[in-house]
Chain A
Amino acid sequence: MRRVVITGAGTVNALAHDVAGTWAAMREGRSGIGPLEVAGAERLMVGIGAQVRGWDAGAHLERGVVAQADRFAQFALVAAAQAMAQSGLVVGEGADCGVILGTAGGGLQTQEESYRAVFAEGKNRVHPLTVPRLMANAGASHVSMAHGIRGPVFTVSTACASSNHAMGLAFQMVRSGACRAVLTGGSEAMLTFGGMKAWEGLRVMSPGGCRPFCRSRDGMVQGEGAAVFVFEEREAALARGAEILAEVAGFAMTSDAGDLVAPSVDGAARAIGGALRDAGIAPAAVDYVNAHGTGTAANDRTEAAALRQVFGGQVPPVSATKAMHGHVIGGTGAVELLACLMALRDGVIAPTIGFREADPDCALDVVPNVAREARVEVALSNAFAFGGLNAVLALRRA
């Protein structure tokens, strides 16, 4: 079977508008969470988020593209361009390359502006490109157009697991030989007034900050952004002398078939164990887990139990980087894969910041507050979505 490696990475998120800046923030344990700046913020009950600040799409994209692309697609385009530049991948004429991106909400900013125009402002027309801007596949389509990628191009939407599902499919397509390389990851731009109101309704948002696995945690904090990677067949990457950031070794996805919102220990544990089996890696060989770690009472307790089910008493260090970059929803697994790459490449495990007090229900080594140097040969990245959908990736040091 073919082996799959990562030869490029790019990102835009609340910590930085590139990978180097994101890694620097993760090493320092810096948070990108702050007061939300959105229209109507004074009517929000939860006023914080991990917002991409100082975003100037025109600095990265041509004016015609900016006009066509919702914020979530702009993030995807810029992250993909960074990943392609680093990889040096040359796309062939045929269907040898693809794009598979995750997003939960698609063009929410476009939707909201259009609804506001027709409902609140009484206007009778919206921008002519409203439909192509809001469609969930806009990000993947823009990336394919920007890089001339003519093979399989599509979007996966599985709420908070979207980008892990997308990257898992990309991995499988390269491993099977269906593609030589796939640009994959995810993006989200849900920090709109309506997006925040919807989340407020669930009453799982923290008013103060995201503190995963901490006994006094009080909920999740929304983020936004994108991360995109070049997944490439290993022999082809080696033959062209590409720098290999890490190997994608395994992937598994499961469904709880239980509750729409309450997570399940069994579903999560089956996905974690499945990714290890797919990779042919023993649990004892895992050196780091990037947790889903949302900071809600239910997720963190359930995830800790699932990890204990798979690893027994020997759970490796686990960290939840959402405390820094927020919950990027459909893009979150992609942004979190950056923490796995940092651990595998640089031997630095990103911390779980905001941690104050151990929770007996989450008895894990959560790498509290300060990054840790460690040799990491194998890392896992968890994502568990509403709807009971679980997707876990296993990575190996290059």
Chain B
Amino acid sequence: MDVREKVIEIIAQQALLQVSDVTPDSRPEELGLDSLGLVEAIFAIEEAFDISVPFNANDPAQSGFDISTVGAIVAAVEGLVAQKAA
């Protein structure tokens, strides 16, 4: 399973949705993920990929981790996974 599939699976699980309901364009709030739901999803992502995601629930915009859409989250996680491998 690649990063994209796994991230979508985690987000779908957290949002209590089917994987098919989550697309790269989906925004977390559209999926019904509030800030706590997002914190839980990011924890699951960190555990799945053994990475540390810089995310501050106080001020998501300034976290340096783009959470605006599912696609942005996937891209950011791919970056962190690549950094880990480097």
Which of A's residues lie within 8 Å of B, judged by CB?
Answer: 201-204, 206, 217-219, 259-262, 296-298
Contacts and interface: CB of A to CB of B under 8 A. Distances in A.
A297 B36 contact: no
18 contacts: A202-B57, A203-B39, A203-B42, A203-B55, A203-B57, A203-B58, A204-B58, A206-B58, A218-B58, A219-B56, A219-B59, A259-B36, A260-B36, A262-B35, A262-B36, A296-B58, A297-B58, A298-B58
A261 B58 contact: no
Q: Which 9 A-B pairs have the closest CB atoms?
A: A203-B57, A219-B58, A297-B58, A203-B39, A296-B58, A204-B57, A218-B58, A218-B59, A261-B36
A217 B34 contact: no
A217 B58 CA distance: 8
Contacts of A218: 56, 58-59, 62
Contacts of A260: 36
Given A203-B56, A262-B34, 6 more contacts: A204-B58, A218-B62, A219-B56, A259-B36, A260-B36, A296-B58
Contacts of B43: 201
Interface of B: 34-36, 39, 42-43, 55-59, 62
A239 to B, nearest CB: 51
Contacts of A201: 39, 43
Contacts of B58: 203-204, 206, 217-219, 296-298
A204 B57 CA distance: 6
Nearest to B55: A203
A41 to B, nearest CB: 17
B80 to A, nearest CB: 15
Contacts of B55: 203
Nearest to B62: A218
Contacts of B35: 262, 298
A259 B35 CA distance: 12
A201 B36 CA distance: 10
A219 B59 CA distance: 8
B82 to A, nearest CB: 22
Contacts of B39: 201-203
A202 B56 CA distance: 9
Contacts of B57: 202-204, 297
Nearest to B59: A218
Contacts of B62: 218
A262 B39 CA distance: 13
Nearest to A201: B43
A259 B36 CA distance: 10
A272 to B, nearest CB: 23
A217 B57 CA distance: 12
Contacts of A261: 36
A296 B42 CA distance: 19
A296 B35 CA distance: 13
Nearest to B57: A203
Question: Most B CB atoms within 10 A — which of A203, A219, A297, A298?
Answer: A203
